[in-house]
A and B are shown apart, each in its own frame.
Chain A
Amino acid sequence: MQRNDIMRMVPVAGVAVASILGACLIGPADLSAGEAMRGLFSADSAGVIVREIRLPRALAAWTAGAALGASGAAMQGLLRNPLADPGVLGVSASAALGAVIAIYFNLSAAASSATPMAAILFALLATALLYAAGAGRLSPTRLILAGVGLSSLAGALIALVMNLAPNPFILSDLVNWLFGAVTNRSFADLALTAPFIAAGMIAIMLAAPGLTALSLGEETAATLGADIPRTRALAIAGAALMTGGSVALAGAIGFVGVVAPHLARPFVAHDPGRAIIPAALIGGALLSLADLCIRLLPFDQELKLGVAAALIGAPAFIWIAARTQRIVR
């Protein structure tokens, strides 16, 4: 980030803060705006509602979106592919599989954090598997192929678990979780996933200069002085940690990770290394806005966050794909 990058991101950060504050004002409990704002600091029932229900939900949406934005930017930079997303390596599908298994066996009865923990565990397992398959040395195309394989395997196993669901209640739990949502998230959930997301962000930031050099291709980047194996290892590990954390926090949410980096790039002269923090800020703002929208929509059945994100994101994705002349090189 250069100083003028930071200045240009101020409006984006403003949108995120506004939508988080806005999310604290809205909800089924009948609180006035003033009561809700006071509730951020007070100890009465308004305080409980705002601080323990609305604020964690809003922060979870922002954090998951930011993690998806940053890891999407890292994957696009690493693979030099504008259509890459955080799930391109199969880590998000694997994390979803972990959560689905935890729900199927009703592990959350034993420990309330079992589902997010299983998601993170499976994300880490998938990453370990990628490294065992030689991810540190693979070319972008081979890496994408490995990711497609891993994604399909995880997808098949998720379908299998759903197929074997013994009763409609478990099935509906599974489906609800797979749609992605941040309802009923607590600060405990945030505390569980934040370390992984933070560690992932640090890894990605360490990879950022290498991602910039990779704009000229791997071989040239190496001769420019970038340590390509290290860049690759940091970007993959960082994206995996952030994606795993985000899936654990909010379930499977698509498109934010693809779209946010594209919106971020014009702010930073299309430098993939400098795009990471703006992509995180934009991803966070997008997902908190989406969560705010679904609460304002007058449906009896609240729209799931993942559904809303896909409804907004898929057309944006098509627009990006249509605008991109050279998709893969």
Chain B
Amino acid sequence: MTRVTVKSLTVVRDGATLLDDVGFEAADGEFIGVVGPNGAGKSTLLRALAGVEEQASRSVFIDGAPVAKTPPRERAKTVAYLPQLREVHWSMTAEAVVSLGRFAYGTGRRLGPADRAAVDAALAAADCESFRSRVASTLSGGEQARIHLARALAAGTPVLIADEPTAALDLRHALSIMKILRARAQAGALVVAALHDLAAARHFCTRVIVLAEARIVADGAAETMVSEEVLERVFGVTRADLRLSEFPAADG
């Protein structure tokens, strides 16, 4: 049983309030979609959950322990984090990148049989097996996104934080990543993902948190949160703006 608690989390940087008194609780088995306009504070919230936002050290707790104060190695066994900016320096292979997901286990460099199995399973789950021995930086954007997801999956943590995991992906791979994340939650993990695709959030997530201007403006079951009212109030977009009816039908 893993419980994440966020208590009145406020982050101010260079005079700008990035998060303002944000609070919620979450438990394993949930797949939470964090949605909201650009600059609403989604990434900052996710960074705080992952323990890399220093100002959040007294506000985010996993099973009662402040996440930013937990030693890195211990934290890495609890929370895996897929940042929005996914860098790979040097000409490392896809498999080497995914293996770094097991860094916190063992010496960080020598993988045991359990680590190998976790890496193989993650490569398979994210559909990366066909290019596992290729150099990561030479792969396509979608392939790189899947490698980084596999890296986060390989850690086998009870909490998985993903910042826009489907950005830059084609429909098929976006769908497959949402399915992987949902499966992870169904297997007992807590998954929190920042998403821009509201339809995907509504379909795959169990719960949606809507952020706007550094505050939580709505939080609840996915079906009720992604509504016309939220679209209009938070994104300033109406159904008419989306002009969904203008998509040509198959028969012309």
Contacts and interface: CB of A to CB of B under 8 A. Distances in A.
Interface string A291-317: 000000000000000000000000000
B interface residue count range (under 10 / 10 to 19 / 20 to 34 / 35 or more): 35 or more
Main secondary structure of the interface of B (DSSP, over half): loop
Given A80-B89, A225-B73, A225-B75, A212 B52 contact: no
B69 to A, nearest CB: 13
A142 B165 CA distance: 30
Interface stretch (B16-24, B95-103, B185-193, B238-246): B95-103
A225 B72 contact: yes
Interface string A218-238: 011011111110000000000
A229 to B, nearest CB: 10
A14 interface: no
B224 interface: no
B104 A225 contact: yes
A209 B88 contact: no
B109 A329 contact: no
B51 interface: yes
B177 interface: no
A216 B100 contact: yes
Given A265-B90, A272-B90, A329-B89, A212 B76 contact: no
Interface string A76-115: 0000100000000000000000000000000000000000
Given A219-B83, A269-B96, A271-B90, A209 B101 contact: no
A217 interface: yes
A214 B72 CA distance: 14
Contact of B90 (A224, A225, A228, A270): A270
A224 B92 contact: no
B203 interface: no
Contact of B96 (A209, A223, A271): A271
Between B74, B86, B90, B91, the greatest number of chain A beta carbons within 10 A of the residue's beta carbon is seen for: B90
Contacts of A272: 89-90
A227 B52 CA distance: 12
Contact of B52 (A216, A219, A273): A219
B134 interface: no
Nearest to A212: B109
Given A216-B88, A216-B100, A329-B87, A223 B108 contact: no
A215 B101 CA distance: 12
Given A215-B100, A226-B108, A273-B109, A220 B93 contact: no
A326 B100 CA distance: 22
A223 B100 contact: no
Contact of A225 (B50, B93, B108): B108
A226 B109 CA distance: 12
B195 interface: no
A223 B96 CA distance: 17
Contact of A217 (B85, B96, B110, B151): B85
Interface in A162-180: none
Nearest to A208: B109
A2 interface: yes
B52 A223 contact: yes
Given A222-B52, A227-B72, A209 B108 contact: yes
A204 B24 CA distance: 42
Nearest to B93: A269
A68 interface: no
A226 B83 contact: no
A273 B137 CA distance: 19
Contacts of B80: 223
B83 A213 contact: no
Given A216-B97, A225-B73, A225-B103, A270 B91 contact: yes
Given A209-B103, A225-B103, 14 more contacts: A2-B109, A213-B100, A216-B87, A216-B88, A217-B89, A219-B83, A223-B80, A223-B81, A224-B101, A225-B74, A227-B73, A269-B93, A271-B109, A329-B87
Interface of A: 2, 80, 209, 212-217, 219-220, 222-228, 265, 269-274, 326, 329
7 contacts: A212-B103, A213-B103, A215-B88, A215-B97, A223-B51, A225-B75, A271-B92
Interface of B: 47, 50-52, 71-77, 79-81, 83, 85-93, 96-97, 100-101, 103-104, 107-110, 137, 151, 155
